[in-house]
Amino acid sequence: MSVISPRLENPHIYTDLGGLNDITRLGRENTAAGLKKVAEQFEALLLNMMLKSMRDSNAVFSEGNYLSSNEMDFHQQNYDNQLSLHLSESGGIGLADILYRQMLTQFGIEEEEQDKTPPSTLRLVEQTVAGKSAADIKSPEDFVRKLYHLAQGVAARIGLDPKVLLAQSALETGWGQKMIKHQRGENSHNLFGIKADERWGGDSVVVSTLEYRDGVARQEKARFRAYDSYAQSFDDYVNYLQTNPRYEEALRHASEPGMFARKLQEAGYATDPIYAEKIQRLMNGQTMQVALKRLGKNLL
């Protein structure tokens, strides 16, 4: 259920005049979103230069290749242009995000300009405890600190080690850095990649996701559940397992983390053929252990 962030419906490379016009239009409608696209385009330019440099270096050792031609070079350049833009919009090397944050600060622009409605007092308290957005989670240690007690509370309901929930949610969200987001960038708070089927009556978001079909990874569009907080995500996860008969076997082994993860995978929770192994690796890995050790009794 690994998720890839959604992009503009009609992405353009920076050399395309239509793409520049789209960014200009977007900047008028939503300044923050426009700045984000400018930052992505700048990173794409840098990545393209890096690709070109590597191509040029490789060309020195491939002189006389019968596949080399002006036409091949032309198509290769177009491919590199689109690849660099795709890499930038899919996370890139992090430069776009840094530039975007700096420009927001420099121009005094709020990241979410569309929603100016102040949340209720209850919502503010809930957001303070659970964390409102992926931007609030800055590191694996921060991920554990902000979510441990939420995981502990719901894990107790099914007799599960809270580290299993932390590991699974870390796998699904990249330690909180790759959260499923709405089109405008709002956090869905979906920690477990649960899809919105006909049984779901709440909010949802459609994004691209990586699925495995017959052992082959492919991108697909899917609708995922959206929550108001991380607390709701944890609560819905446990309810999801308890109300689905196919997960009965997994729940029977809740006291055995490794077996629980395997039974979860066998029941079809995810299409990744090594999903259970990844959960166990994260749960017992150094990143998790160091985060827990550093926080000690100061888990908040």
Q: How far apart are CA 119 and CA 36, in angstroms?
A: 25
DSSP category for residue 136: G
Q: Is 228 a catalytic residue?
A: no
Q: How far is CA 107 from CA 38, 40, 133, in A?
A: 14, 18, 22
Closest CA to 48 of 84, 74, 14: 84
Phi, psi of 224, deg, nearest 5? -115, 155
Q: Is 272 a catalytic residue?
A: no
Active site residue: 40, 89, 126, 236, which one? 236
Please count the CA atoms within 13 angstroms of the CA of 237 that sit on its side-chain side: 28
Q: Is 285 left (phi over 0), alpha (psi -120 to 50) or beta?
A: beta
Q: How far apart are CA 253 and CA 235, in angstroms?
A: 19
Active site residue: 211, 235, 249, 277, which one? 211
Q: How far apart are CA 19 and CA 21, in angstroms?
A: 5
The three-state secondary structure class of 122 is helix
Q: How far apart are CA 73 and CA 116, in angstroms?
A: 49
**Residues carrying an active site annotation:** 211, 236
